[in-house]
Chain A
């Protein structure tokens, strides 16, 4: 992989945080940077073809509709979905999960039904289920996390004995970078009669994804972590499930026919896309998918893992630094750590002076931090444009933390 050439595709990489201090962006788990092709695709839409999609007969509306639907097809192909209509565009991955809890969950779960989650989930895959539990009286169970931040797969079969209706879990932790054995979890869930939802917000940008091979029922992910624009998420769902599910949000485009007191729903995927969608962003995501595919997800995955492993090695050298999560072979793309005697906000602040952008806090995974017995961590995360030289710069900046706090 030619990282130098890839970096040239990202205009922001050349920016300076302050005069003379180049940006070292290690916060891609929060949001990735965007290549020029994505920025230009959206710019082109607004400059040359801006029009609302569907039902328009004028030329621009036709072009925009075609581009929007073409992007849906690209996303479907990118994750190995059999049909384009299995791709539903939402505001973000969070909304994609809320779509499942509100539509599938409300229609299919009853008091006492079990939903199985894990202790490493992002709040986006906890709170929607908690809200459903409060409303419907369903019971939430959790696959425990081991001391080194992996899922305790030995505990999983006993939890499946509780006959969950749904197993919903992250394929890659946004805190530890742990990669979970998604295909195995899905297979065992299906054998126990449960449906499955994978939170792919972190995994889809970093690993090759094939929903067919994984056989997952729902996959939620977000555009802005995979080189695409913000304001856009994706829900993949198996067509037969989506057909059966009631609509989530009501309004324009999701209907076939409306009377004053009733409506009939449009077909999938439009049934789940009420109102004018994020047209420019969807077109931007189409360009992002083209960009990632042109490099190849296998190559990106190898690059991210190699860089993560290198960062873990170098972090071990820094006295007082403790990295959370499993060894390099079980993780990718991010390293969360504590620094003895220094709060993560102070670590992040001092790194920022050196131009290094990292994130400090609980990373929307408070229960996982509670499990580790720490309120917050500092997280460095890596993507396709990052280099070993940047990791070195980051490590040198950590020594400055040591200098200031002694």
Chain B
């Protein structure tokens, strides 16, 4: 069986590098996975060119959801918002470096959903089911 508990996941879960809140911020959004109660908040600051200068997350949940949030926040620092908007399921799986079944996939994608909610605004976010099927 593929080992989903790679060192990077356990490390990021136990010692997250990008945990915290930004106040003030340009974008802040939080959401939860109603199936398990995991929740994540992501705060972002951007410069005048809409490039992400700082980003942090807070949350509670399983190793997959929290490690993926930490890795995702790290990835978007320095990215333009347009590029952030185009991030998808494959980018998250690449960051984690693992294959996931349908249930744990939603754990992994919660941070992406939160990020999209923050940068798109409420109306356009996809549900976890839609993201998982994308």
Q: Verify A361–B37 contact, CB threshold 8 A.
A: yes
Q: Verify B37–A362 contact, CB threshold 8 A.
A: yes
What range describes how many residues of A lie at the interface?
A: 10 to 19
Q: Verify B37–A343 contact, CB threshold 8 A.
A: no
Q: CB within 8 A of A346: which of B1, B37, B62?
A: B62
Q: CB within 8 A of B36: which of A341, A360, A405, A406?
A: A360
Task: Give the number of A-B contacts (CB < 8 Å).
Answer: 40
A178 within 8 A of B: no
Q: Verify B63–A346 contact, CB threshold 8 A.
A: yes
What range describes how many residues of B lie at the interface?
A: 10 to 19
Q: In the assembly, what is the distance between CA of A320 and CA of B104, in Å?
A: 24
B72 within 8 A of A: no
Q: Verify B37–A349 contact, CB threshold 8 A.
A: no
Interface residues of A in 58-94 (CB under 8 A from B): none
Interface residues of A in 327-363 (CB under 8 A from B): 341-346, 349-350, 353, 360-362
**Most A Cβ at <10 Å: residue of B1, B14, B62, B64:** B62
Residues of B within 8 A of A375 (CB): 37-38, 60
Q: In the assembly, what is the distance between CA of A344 and CA of B62, in Å?
A: 7
Residues of B within 8 A of A345 (CB): 36, 61-62, 64, 104, 107
Q: In the assembly, what is the distance between CA of A18 and CA of B5, in Å?
A: 19
**Most A Cβ at <10 Å: residue of B4, B10, B36, B61:** B36
Q: In the assembly, what is the distance between CA of A342 and CA of B66, in Å?
A: 12
A376 within 8 A of B: yes
Interface residues of A in 260-275 (CB under 8 A from B): none
Binding site for A on B (CB under 8 A): 1, 4-5, 10, 14, 35-38, 60-64, 104, 107
Q: Which 10 A-B pairs have the closest CB atoms?
A: A343-B62, A345-B62, A375-B37, A346-B63, A346-B62, A404-B5, A361-B36, A376-B37, A362-B37, A345-B36
Given contacts A343-B38, A375-B38, 6 further A-B contacts (CB under 8 A): A341-B14, A345-B36, A345-B62, A346-B64, A360-B36, A375-B37
Binding site for B on A (CB under 8 A): 18, 341-346, 349-350, 353, 360-362, 366, 375-376, 404-406
